Structure 1
């Protein structure tokens, strides 16, 4: 009989070790010598995985609580995650404001959940490999090379995601805003990390990649200005026309529905331009964001009616056809 096979492992006499405990239970020398691999390491790996899964679950639950809108808050409260962040959403959005906040919080929350899963499970994976005695140096180096390769291959995707994340954090625009991205303009229907969806005035839906947006004009933040250009003939008395415009606009904004949308009294700025057809007088009014088009239409109708009552005539060129013989 080979004496090496019958040699009792030295660890069986070391109290407090897994080898000693297994030998006391089984009296099997091979099992005692392999206790580290058969008992200790599986228990450590299981413990690492259980702790990682619990931490991931706990953090995700916390993120859900931070990104959930308080119930029955009447649009007055933000999700806890958004309170430290700046919000530019106008209160006049009404029901769209709740959707805007919920979508913004949900998107940011999904990013935080993905980061949490990547970090927690990644650290757990490294811990498991360490317990198995695997050299982590080559694996980490290979992962770094693969990450660089993927980064170069998916530059546009990474660019879209980063741009979308910053748009969310800075609240550059959101659901219900009227924006102009250069190539497309319209009302924002949804904002994601990669794509922003717009619907223009004709009903066409535009899908804009966030990474391609170099500038954004937002007509729904802070305040807007309603601009009304009124054409008059050369024979019109400018000072009298400005007086009539101011009186008509002031009377119009004093009544509903304009009174709730206009922030400051209208101002007639005087002659804006001179063309071969006549002169143009500009009228402006500071209004709530997104309401400038409604106010412009109402003011235009009101001032044109007053100017006609006061005896002012439109430019001659607008009444005549191309050859000056009358409009067809």
Structure 2
């Protein structure tokens, strides 16, 4: 190779730029730093936005739940607002309604508290679970296994706790429908008595013997409420087969009138009593039924008062009960004999025992 050609090749090689290893490393580090700063700025911002939206949503849900439960406790409708509000639905009217029916107000308040607690817990779980899943997804965590595990766990719990879920759902619908409340006398089949406590899972019932029954809500196939709205006092009286039924009806009407005139018991009556002439008929007795509508949970007190007055009226009228004709006759003869002995003999009034 000649010297001129070698010089030209050397100049060409010198003119071609060679890459600098220091420059490439600097560019890569800069790109990594930019990506890191972008991640640090973007991810916390998204997480904060998710948390803030979740908190606002939970606060709104809680406020709506509180409004709904307040209306349930007051017994008013959500539509009765502004121009649609009835004239009597004022603060004074609400206070008068609460004073007039304290039992209903207490039942509504208890139902509102229970429903509000359930709704608040459900809203917290729903919003909290959604926020947690979104935060994990933002951090780059694969949430598919969590969702699959939650689904499998939910199915397992559903199969393993069917009775528990049934009790909770039955208790929730029972509260929403206001089937019964504390202080009501109910009959649920296995137990019958006064309700002492109502929860989502069980209802506590105190029977007439003082036994406290814990009845799961899911086992109540039917519920009979004896003290809701109004009640009826029913008294059945068996009189002698040959008794004058018209006379007996008159005696029972007078007995009901005396009960209605009572300053305490009479306030519990609602309407006029009805008397059924022949409810049952047998070889020894004729059964008449006296019924009158009463205030809730006062039918037993009114029925006792009706029995007392009916017994006194039948005895005074000389109408025997079934199978008691001979005893009534003997009783009246003994009273007549005692009255004859105690009565003074004419012409001896005021005389001394020696003069008699």
Supply the distance in 2 between the matched residues of 1:82 and 1:179 (Cα, whole angstroms).
Answer: 32
> Which residue number in structure 2 is paired with residue 202 of structure 1?
209
1:78 aligns with 2:57: no
Contact 2:98 2:105 in 1 (8 A): no
Q: Is the contact made by 1:93 and 1:176 (CA closer than 8 Å) also made in structure 2?
A: no
Cα distance, 1:191 vs structure 2: 1.4
Please point out which of 232, 235, 242 is paired with 1:225: 232
The answer on 1:312 being equivalent to 2:332 is: no
Structure number, greater radius of gyration: 2
TM-score, scaled to structure 2? 0.73
2:265 to 249, 258, 264: 258
Cα 1:67–1:196, aligned 2, differ >3 Å: closer, same or farther? Answer: same
Contact map agreement 2:202 2:215 (CA 8 A) in 1: yes
Partners of 1:67 and 1:80 within 8 A in 2: no
Deviation at 1:151, TM superposition (A): 0.6
Tell me how far apart the structure 2 counterparts of residues 158 and 318 of structure 1 sit (CA, whole Å): 61
Aligned partners of 1:253, 1:91: CA distance in 2, in Å? 26
In the alignment, does 2:294 pair up with 1:274? no
Tell me the number of residue pairs that the alignment of Structure 1 and Structure 2 aligns: 292
Preserved CA contact (<8 Å) 1:69 1:102:
no
- Distance of aligned partners of 1:198 and 1:103 in 2 relative to their CA distance in 1, 3 Å threshold: same
Q: For 2:64 and 2:162, how far apart are their aligned partners in 1?
A: 32
Question: Aligned match of 2:305 in 286, 298, 302?
Answer: 298
- Identify which range, 176-185 or 267-276, moves more after superposition: 267-276
CA RMSD of aligned residues (A): 3.0
Per-residue deviation, residues 120-153 of structure 1 (Å, max 9, x unmatched): 1122122212212334444323322221111111
- Distance change >3 Å, CA 91–CA 305, structure 1 → 2: farther
Equivalent in the alignment of 1:5? 25
Q: Within 1, Cα distance between the matches of 2:289 and 2:325?
A: 18
Counterpart of 1:183 in structure 2 is 190
**Structure 1 residue 225, shift from structure 2 partner:** 1.6
When structure 1 is superposed on structure 2, of 169-178 and 309-318 the one drifting more is 309-318
The 3 A distance-change label for structure 1 pair 242 and 91 is farther
Aligned residue among 141, 151, 171 for 1:134: 141
Q: Structure 1 residues 79 and 114, CA, compared in 2 at 3 Å: closer, same or farther?
A: farther
Residues 240-276 of structure 1: CA deviation (Å, up to 9, x unaligned): 1112212221232133223321112111101222345
- Contact between 2:233 and 2:292, CA under 8 Å: does it hold in 1? yes
Alignment check: 8 A CA contact 1:97 1:176 kept: no
CA displacement 1:208-257 (0-9 Å, x = unmatched): 11111100001122322211011212231122111221222123213322
Structure 1 match to 2:10: none
Give the match for residue 21 of structure 1: none
Q: 2:294 aligns with which of 287, 299, 302?
A: 287
More helix by share: 2
* 3-state SS, counterpart of residue 316 of structure 1: coil
TM-score under structure 1 length normalisation:
0.79
SS in 1 for 2:157: helix
Please state whether the residue corresponding to 2:25 is helix, strand or coil: coil
- SS of the equivalent of 1:34 reads helix
> Any unmatched runs of 5+ in structure 1?
10-27, 85-89, 321-328
- Stretch of structure 1 that moved more, 150-159 or 40-49: 40-49
Aligned counterpart, 1:39: 41
Structure 1 residue 108: Cα displacement: 0.7
Three-state SS of the structure 1 residue aligned to 2:228 is coil
In 2, Cα distance between equivalents of 1:82 and 1:280: 52
Cα distance, 1:117–1:276 mapped onto 2, change above 3 Å? same
Distance in 1 (CA, whole Å) between partners of 2:207 and 2:76 is 30
Task: Say if 2:232 and 2:293, in contact at 8 Å, map to a contact too.
Answer: yes
Conserved? CA contact 1:264–1:285, under 8 Å: yes
Cross-structure match for 1:57: 59
Contact 2:71 2:78 in 1 (8 A): no
Residues 171 and 218 of structure 2 are in contact (CA less than 8 Å); yes or no, is this contact kept in structure 1? yes
